[in-house]
Copies of this chain bind each other. A is one copy, B any other.
Amino acid sequence: MSYLPIQQLLKTAQIGTDVTVKGWVRTKRESKNAVFIALNDGSTINNIQVVAEAGQLPEETLKLITTGACLSVTGQLVASQGAGQAIEVKISAVTIYGPADPDKYPLQPKRHSLEFLREIAHLRPRTNTFSAILRIRHALAFAVHKYFNDNGFFYLNTPIITASDAEGAGEMFRVTTLDATKPPLTEEGNVDYSQDFFGRETNLTVSGQLEGELGALALGKIYTFGPTFRAENSNTTRHLAEFWMIEPEVAFNDLEDNMNLAEDFVKTVIRYALQHCADDLAFLDNRLKEEEKTKKKEEQSELGLLEKLQFVISNEFVRLTYTDAVEILVNSKPAKKGQFQYEVSWGVDLQSEHERYLVEKHFKKPVILTNYPRAIKAFYMKLDEESSTTPGQTVRAMDVLFPGIGEIIGGSQREDDFDKLVARMHEVGIEPEALWWYLDTRRFGSAPHAGFGLGFERLVLFVTGMGNIRDVIPFPRAPKTAEF
């Protein structure tokens, strides 16, 4: 029995034709003359209404048509008499694939808290909010691949299990097949990892960047898009133990090119979502408006979700150095009135409150900060030249800051000089031997190059307007959380 997904049916529907629709019951409503069933198959936020005359369906069938039940319905597509939909299906036959006992099915047609839905993450994609989020997540992921493919980048799958522990991007998870209770030990009493699966200690990757650089210095333009891991015990609305990261890396790009790429990239994928997810975004825009109404006036955001997305794609990002940003912050009203929780001075890592002040109050635009102090950035970032205003003190780093969310992208031009890179490694306590393969790219055919990383869930969080990062990934992983 061939049938069309509801998304296609609503677009191509021809009144008067016979159709089959399949999906899950969202609501059932009975009037004196008829039964109205809202059916959704996940292809769109929009339901299709299927209608039976009163008495048409046997009582035992009708009893099984409850919220969550899965049906196949055949009938004629007709213009709807009721408000809220243009067309509906006049039922001629119903098959019940699977009922959903209303006494046990947890998703009833009422408002469930996001906390509750997190506990039933295996079922929450059946709700309007989460199906909208997942469709938008898909569209954004596709837009990412499309953007890079259109622009001559090659997708590079960097390793997930890695023996390299020198990146310093965060705490790592150990990957092992050794006996957990009685691991083999060396004579010194340490675990003998030579007997482990890989013959050495291995961990889950925190970033594909270093391997990405190998790729860029061979293929020119590459990007990664894969899972990365942080074993940090942080139970916040902004952190996950497992998240997806996008990391483009481009040979011959400098910091300026890198900024241009980041701005064009993030605008293009947001524009794609606006074009391809209009219904889902309208739903979430409305959801956010309702939520905002429950807040105090002064805590409500100035912009709605759609306005915020338009704001980002239609404004040129402000670009300024860290040094200039610190000056603005030091002279700002909140600094003078002592309203910042953390004090600002040249050399400190900016806090979220500072980033948000710059974006939301001072410039009222997305901001790219550059040329950060070397002491607060990673070893692989290129030192600023003698000709810069802060020679040797700063690195060619960039952070892209967004309203509401703070840092969404972090990147840099990379140090391509072998000697300077080795010196920096010594400075931060990394053994050059441990990264011999990384250094080989500077030893042989080195080239200027630059790249950045964007946490995919941060992007989805921004585009969906959700408040907790655990709500924008299907099955969140966090401390004490690994269900499903």
A447 touching B219 in the complex, CB below 8 Å, given contacts A5-B152, A161-B229: no
Q: Tell me, in angstroms, the Cα distance from A481 to B199 when the chains sit together.
A: 7
Which of A27-35, A50-58, A173-181, A324-332 is near enough to bind chain B?
A173-181
Interface hits, A180-194 → B, CB 8 Å: 180-181, 183, 185, 189-191
Q: A22-B447, A68-B444, A175-B175 are in contact. Are A162 and B220 (CB under 8 A)?
A: no
Q: Name which residue of chain B comes closest to A198, CB basis.
A: B482
User: Quick one: closest B residue to A418, CB to CB?
Assistant: B98
List of B residues within 8 angstroms of A221 by Cβ: 5, 43
Which of A118-126, A299-307, A377-385, A424-432 binds B? A118-126
Q: A154-B135, A444-B100 are in contact. Are A482 and B176 (CB under 8 A)?
A: no
CB of A465 closer than 8 Å to a CB of B = no
A152 adjacent to B219 (CB under 8 Å): no
Q: Which size bracket describes the interface of A in this complex?
A: 35 or more
* A141 to B144 CA separation, bound complex (whole angstroms): 13
How far is it, in angstroms, between the C-alpha of A440 and the C-alpha of B200 when the chains are bound?
A: 41
Q: Answer yes or no: A285 CB below 8 A from chain B CBs.
A: no
- Report the minimum CB–CB distance from A68 to chain B (whole Å): 5
Query: Is A14 located at the chain interface by the 8 A CB criterion?
Result: no
- What's the minimum C-beta distance from A108 to chain B, rounded to whole angstroms? 11
Q: A98-B416, A227-B226 are in contact. Are A177 and B181 (CB under 8 A)?
A: no
Interface contact A162-B43, CB-CB below 8 Å: no
Q: Which residue of B lies closest to A478 (CB)?
A: B198
1/0 per residue A210-222: CB within 8 Å of B? 0100110111110
Partner of A219, one of B100, B122, B134: B134
Q: Which residue of B lies closest to A214 (CB)?
A: B122
Residues of B within 8 A of A440 (CB): 122-123
Cα distance, A447 to B71, chains bound together (Å):
8
Contact A134 B154 (CB under 8 A): yes
**Does A42 have its Cβ within 8 Å of any Cβ on chain B?**
yes
Q: Within the complex, which residue of B8, B24, B138, B474 is in contact with A211, where a contact is CB–CB below 8 Å? A: B474
Task: Kindly report how many copies of this chain are found in the complex they form together.
Answer: 2
**Does A160 have its Cβ within 8 Å of any Cβ on chain B?**
yes
Convert A461-484 into 0s and 1s, putting 1 for each residue whose CB lies closer than 8 angstroms to a CB of B.
000000000000111010111111
The listed residue (B8, B41, B161, B197) touching A479 by CB distance below 8 A is B197
Task: Indicate if the CB atoms of B98 and A218 lie closer than 8 Å.
Answer: no
A47 at the interface (CB under 8 A from B): no
Q: Which residues of B contact A480 (CB under 8 A)?
A: 197-199
The answer for the CA separation of A220 and B215 in the assembled complex, in Å, is: 37
Cα A122 to Cα B439 with chains together (Å): 10
Which residue of chain B has the shortest Cβ distance to A162 in the bound complex? B482
Residues in B neighbouring A180, C-beta threshold 8 A: 174, 176, 178, 183, 191
Q: Which of B97, B173, B174, B200 contacts A448 (CB 8 A)?
A: B97
Known interface pairs A189-B181, A482-B162, A484-B211; A445-B241 also in contact (CB < 8 Å)? no
Whether a CB of chain B sits under 8 angstroms from the CB of A251 is yes
Residue of B nearest to A181 (CB): B191
- 8 Å CB contact of A214 from B178, B217, B484: B484
Q: Assess the A241–B174 pair: CB atoms within 8 A.
A: no
Contact with B along A81-113 (1 / 0, CB 8 A): 000000000000000011111001101000000
Q: Nearest chain B CB to A268's CB is how many angstroms away?
A: 16
Cβ-defined contact, A104 with B70, below 8 A: no
Q: Are A446 and B97 in contact (CB under 8 A)?
A: yes
Q: Which of chain B's residues has its CB closest to A227's CB? A: B160
The 10 nearest A-B residue pairs measured at CB: A98-B446, A125-B218, A42-B219, A198-B482, A199-B480, A122-B437, A138-B154, A42-B220, A70-B445, A100-B444
CB pairs A–B below 8 angstroms (29 shown): A22-B251, A22-B447, A42-B219, A42-B220, A43-B152, A68-B445, A69-B445, A97-B448, A101-B443, A104-B444, A131-B219, A134-B219, A135-B219, A141-B145, A142-B149, A145-B145, A159-B242, A160-B160, A161-B173, A161-B477, A163-B482, A173-B177, A175-B175, A181-B191, A197-B233, A198-B241, A199-B479, A199-B480, A199-B481
